[in-house]
């Protein structure tokens, strides 16, 4: 195939992609695949109580499954996602889907909790396809449309993570067995194979030197230090997700305290309350393509700051918490779209590794935010959560100011 030929939705992507010739991207298939595979990280969460009872273990032991999900996903982002820069993407996609489906079936048949934890770790490590799909789709779309495509796929990821909990809980209740949810997830994951084999390209770029795996991973620190945009996007990803995580890590405690006196079920509903914001965040991609990532970052920071202002002054109001959580989701999702889009135009030969750096930084920031939020809430209640969020908001704003000053200085010296 020639580099100038484009693919219509449903057709196979070009085997070799030229950076100068973007193709039409089957966003629907990619967003659906992202939603289904990211759901594998979240659907076990409502099943933990049923798993504890079914395997006759304590709730604390069953809780290790949730930790294994996060640990495995982080490992997969670091160890697997960079391969998309040099490996056969179509083959990599196929292998990941097969391994994930097989792991889910092993989990469904687990005779004990140790087997289930090991299977969970394996599944979460191989179900990193969303973090492969996103940079690949951006490279296929080209710089002019990368923000729009990233936004739509991000919407798929948000919907997948949101509805997976409700779906798995419903399947478990209807069947009377938590194992059924794992079987359903395995079938849905395997069903993606035919569509993705037609959609994903073989490689991102023709004639590119194929780095050995060890050297590929060794390039990650160099990418972080050689591009100012990478450091900037990674920092914003960390601080924004830290503020986001500080809220969600302490929301259950806040709702259990006066004046709400509510259980964890209501906190779980907040992911559904945030659906309007999730849908609106897809528009951030179009804004990025029109106005650039800095404008979207400033707008996103305004949403996050407004959310914490509501939390600070109207934290005892359920309506304010719902509105504020929507603003927080909208700002966080929009910021992620803008920061990923900023990275993906730096060169398609490294988009997967750039996404690895960004996602690991965001995960790290989220972990710090969760720990800081929980510690502050323990000592100072809801006020502590708001203060932690405000600190990360100030850090984000400071980074935006510094970045603008450096751009102005660079323009003056040019």
**Does 2 score more than 70 pLDDT?**
no
- Measure the CA angle with vertex 190, ends 189 and 192; round to 5°: 75
Q: Other C-beta atoms within 10 Å of 81: how many?
A: 25
pLDDT at 397: 97
Report the mean per-residue pLDDT for the chain: 86
For 226, half-sphere exposure in the C-beta direction (CA atoms, 13 angstrom radius) is 9
**Does 242 score more than 70 pLDDT?**
yes
SS3 361: helix
Mean pLDDT, rounded, for 348-364: 91
pLDDT at 24: 52
Residue 252 near residue 270 (C-beta atoms within 8 A): no
**Does 61 score more than 60 pLDDT?**
yes
pLDDT at 264: 58
**Does 135 score more than 70 pLDDT?**
yes
259: left (phi over 0), alpha (psi -120 to 50) or beta: alpha
Residue 384 near residue 156 (C-beta atoms within 8 A): no
Pick 206 or 178 by higher pLDDT. 178
Q: Between the CA of residue 230 and those of 11, 224, 264, 359, what are the distances in Å?
A: 33, 6, 38, 12
Distance CA(33)–CA(55), nearest Å, equals 31
**Does 19 score more than 70 pLDDT?**
no
Largest CA distance in the chain: 69
User: Sorting pLDDT into bands at 50, 70 and 90, what band is 205?
Assistant: low
pLDDT at 407: 79
Distance CA(93)–CA(126), nearest Å, equals 10
φ, ψ for residue 109 (rounded to 5)?
-100, 10
Task: Locate 227 and state its tokens.
Answer: 């591009």
User: Sorting pLDDT into bands at 50, 70 and 90, what band is 48?
Assistant: confident
pLDDT at 23: 43
The share of the chain scoring above pLDDT 90, in percent, equals 50
User: Sorting pLDDT into bands at 50, 70 and 90, what band is 21?
Assistant: very low
pLDDT at 5: 35
φ, ψ for residue 395 (rounded to 5)?
-65, -40
pLDDT at 16: 42
Pick 50 or 114 by higher pLDDT. 114
pLDDT in tens, 147-188: 888 888 988 988 888 788 778 878 888 888 999 999 999 999
**Does 335 score more than 60 pLDDT?**
yes
pLDDT at 404: 86
Pick 414 or 93 by higher pLDDT. 93
Q: What is the pTM of this model?
A: 0.82
Residue 96 near residue 127 (C-beta atoms within 8 A): yes
pLDDT at 231: 94
**Does 414 score more than 70 pLDDT?**
no
Distance CA(275)–CA(272), nearest Å, equals 5
Distance CA(136)–CA(83), nearest Å, equals 12
Distance CA(347)–CA(359), nearest Å, equals 18
Distance CA(89)–CA(106), nearest Å, equals 26
Pick 307 or 283 by higher pLDDT. 307
**Does 7 score more than 60 pLDDT?**
no
φ, ψ for residue 28 (rounded to 5)?
-60, -50
3-state secondary structure labels for all residues of 270-287: HHHHCHHHHHHHCHHHHH
pLDDT at 6: 38
pLDDT at 310: 98
pLDDT at 279: 86
User: Sorting pLDDT into bands at 50, 70 and 90, what band is 410?
Assistant: low
**Does 14 score more than 60 pLDDT?**
no
Mean pLDDT, rounded, for 37-46: 87
Strand partners, 203: 16
**Does 68 score more than 50 pLDDT?**
yes
Distance CA(190)–CA(194), nearest Å, equals 9
User: Sorting pLDDT into bands at 50, 70 and 90, what band is 78?
Assistant: very high
Pick 176 or 414 by higher pLDDT. 176
Q: Between the CA of residue 181 and those of 42, 309, 409, what are the distances in Å?
A: 12, 39, 56
């Amino acid at each position: 195939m020639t580099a100038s030929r484009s693919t219509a939705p449903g057709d196979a992507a070009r085997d070799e992609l030229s950076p100068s010739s973007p193709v039409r991207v089957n966003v629907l298939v990619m967003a659906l695949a992202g939603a289904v595979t990211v759901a594998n990280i979240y659907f076990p969460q409502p099943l933990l109580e049923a798993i504890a009872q079914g395997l006759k273990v304590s709730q604390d032991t069953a809780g290790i499954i949730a930790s294994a999900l996060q640990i495995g996903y982080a490992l997969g982002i670091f160890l697997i996602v960079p391969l998309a820069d040099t490996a056969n993407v179509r083959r990599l996609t196929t292998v990941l889907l097969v391994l994930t489906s097989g792991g889910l079936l092993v989990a469904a048949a687990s005779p004990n909790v140790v087997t289930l934890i090991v299977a969970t770790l394996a599944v979460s490590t191989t179900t990193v396809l969303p973090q492969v799909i996103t940079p690949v789709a951006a490279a296929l779309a080209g710089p002019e449309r990368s923000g729009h495509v990233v936004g739509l796929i991000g919407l798929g990821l948000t919907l997948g993570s949101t509805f997976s909990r409700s779906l798995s809980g419903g399947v478990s209740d209807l069947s009377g067995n938590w194992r059924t949810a794992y079987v359903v997830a395995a079938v849905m994951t395997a069903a993606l194979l035919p569509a993705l084999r037609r959609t994903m390209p073989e490689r991102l770029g023709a004639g590119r030197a194929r780095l050995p795996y060890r050297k590929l991973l060794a390039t990650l620190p160099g990418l972080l230090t050689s591009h100012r945009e990478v450091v900037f996007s990674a920092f914003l990803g960390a601080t924004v997700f830290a503020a986001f995580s500080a809220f969600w890590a302490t929301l259950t405690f806040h709702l259990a305290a006066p004046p709400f006196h509510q259980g964890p079920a209501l906190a779980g509903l907040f992911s559904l309350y945030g659906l309007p914001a999730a849908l609106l965040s897809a528009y951030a991609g179009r804004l990025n393509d029109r106005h650039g990532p800095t404008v979207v970052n400033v707008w996103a920071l305004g949403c996050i700051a407004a959310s914490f202002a509501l939390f600070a002054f109207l934290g005892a109001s359920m309506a304010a918490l719902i509105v504020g959580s929507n603003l927080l989701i909208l700002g966080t999702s929009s910021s992620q779209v803008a920061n990923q889009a900023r990275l993906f135009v730096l060169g398609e030969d490294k988009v997967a590794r750039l996404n690895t750096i960004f996602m690991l930084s965001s995960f790290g920031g989220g972990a710090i935010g969760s720990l800081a939020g929980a510690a502050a809430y323990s000592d100072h209640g809801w006020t502590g959560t708001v203060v932690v969020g405000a600190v990360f908001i100030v850090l984000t704003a400071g980074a935006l100011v510094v970045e603008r000053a450096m751009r102005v200085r660079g323009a003056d010296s040019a």
